[in-house]
């Protein structure tokens, strides 16, 4: 459903994984490919929005038609880029898979192996979406939840804790949902608690469902 209904609106999308360095050659990350977030950015651009895409490292090209592309590595990099672009955004969609923890100390030289094991102490990263929820005002704020258990309960808690307009909950236990695949199986939960379950669909189709909802909220 392409159109001009988002002309003049600024949409900020985050996508992909964040990575957290252990030493100059090693890091911790997750399985996000950026496919979901890039599909959302493309769908918003097709409706005429000015799209800023802030992305962790991926192997896919940024979609055509977006206004700004910012490549980041760590959660702290993503937090900085998001906050710098927050004020001018009408809606923020956080589909990135953000590392909750980072190594407490990053070794300046490659860690040499020894006979024993290796323990890496981790410390908490900021919760970017929660911070956005605290300063949201009238902006539309959309989060994702990637869960392996208690999907609806966990997603509901995230809506409240992070002050979201709605959350897109991926059921990671289902084949064809979540990380890396071209499809997704989700429930969308509104602020009011209303749950809409969707069948398996392509990430492009789901991106349009999400952008339809964002468009309606922006028109209110
Ligand atoms: O990239 P793909 O391979 O296409 O996969 C898509 C996806 C599975 C990565 C995506 O659809 C998805 O579910 N993204 C969110 C994954 C995630 O980090 O979920 P979470 O339940 O840990 O986080 C909840 C929300 O808070 C997310 O919107 C996340 O961006 C945000 N968050 C989480 C932690 C943190 N420190 N800061 C955050 O902003």
pLDDT in tens, 89-119: 999 999 999 999 999 999 999 999 999 999 9
Sorted by where each starts, the structural domains of the chain and their CATH numbers stand as 10-103+116-219 (3.40.50.10300)
Residues belonging to the binding site for CTP are 100, 110, 126-129, 144, 158, 162
Please state whether beta strands 91-94 and 10-15 pair in parallel, antiparallel, or not at all (unpaired): parallel
Q: How far is the CA of 99 from the centre of ligand 1 (A)?
A: 9
Give the mean pLDDT of 119-139. 98
Q: How far is the CA of 109 from the centre of ligand 1 (A)?
A: 31
pLDDT in tens, 173-201: 999 999 999 999 999 999 999 999 999 99
30 catalytic per annotation: yes
pLDDT in tens, 22-72: 999 999 999 999 999 999 999 999 999 999 999 999 999 999 999 999 999
For the entire predicted model, the pTM comes to 0.97
The residue whose CB lies within 8 Å of the most ligand 1 atoms, and thus the one to mutate among 97, 125, 188, 209, is 97
Is 1's pLDDT higher than 80? no
Q: Give residue 220's pLDDT band: very low, low, confident or very high (50, 70, 90).
A: confident
Kindly report the protein residue whose alpha carbon is nearest to atom 33 of ligand 1.
Answer: 98
Q: What is the pLDDT of residue 13?
A: 98
Q: What is the pLDDT of residue 2?
A: 59
ipTM for the predicted complex? 0.98
Kindly report the protein residue whose alpha carbon is nearest to atom 13 of ligand 1.
Answer: 146
Q: Which of 10, 30, 125, 149 is catalytic?
A: 30
Q: Report the b/e string of 164-196 with b at 16+ CB within 10 A.
A: bbbbbbbbbeeeebbbebebbbbbbbeeeeeee
Sheet with strand 10-15: strands edge to edge: 68-71, 50-55, 10-15, 91-94, 140-147, 166-171, 186-190, 195-197
């Amino acid at each position: 459903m392409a159109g001009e209904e988002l002309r003049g609106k600024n949409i900020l999308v985050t996508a992909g994984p964040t990575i957290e360095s252990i030493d100059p050659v090693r890091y911790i990350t997750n399985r996000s490919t950026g496919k979901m977030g890039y599909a959302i950015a493309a769908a918003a651009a097709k409706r005429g929005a000015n799209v800023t895409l802030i992305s962790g490292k991926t192997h896919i090209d940024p979609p055509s038609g977006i206004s700004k592309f910012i490549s980041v590595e760590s959660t702290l990099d993503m937090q900085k880029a998001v906050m710098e672009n927050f004020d001018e955004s009408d809606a923020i969609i956080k589909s990135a898979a953000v590392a909750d923890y980072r190594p407490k100390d990053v070794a300046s030289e490659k860690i040499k192996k020894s006979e024993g094991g290796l323990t890496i102490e981790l410390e908490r990263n900021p919760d970017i979406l929660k911070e956005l929820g605290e300063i949201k005002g009238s902006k539309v704020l959309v989060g994702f939840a990637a869960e392996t258990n208690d999907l609806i309960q966990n997603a509901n808690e995230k809506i409240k804790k992070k002050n979201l307009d709605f959350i897109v909950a991926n059921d990671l236990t289902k084949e064809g949902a979540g990380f890396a695949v071209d499809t997704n199986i989700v429930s969308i939960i509104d602020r009011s608690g209303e749950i809409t379950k969707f069948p398996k669909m392509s990430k492009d189709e789901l991106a349009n469902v999400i952008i339809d909802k964002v468009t309606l909220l922006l028109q209110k």
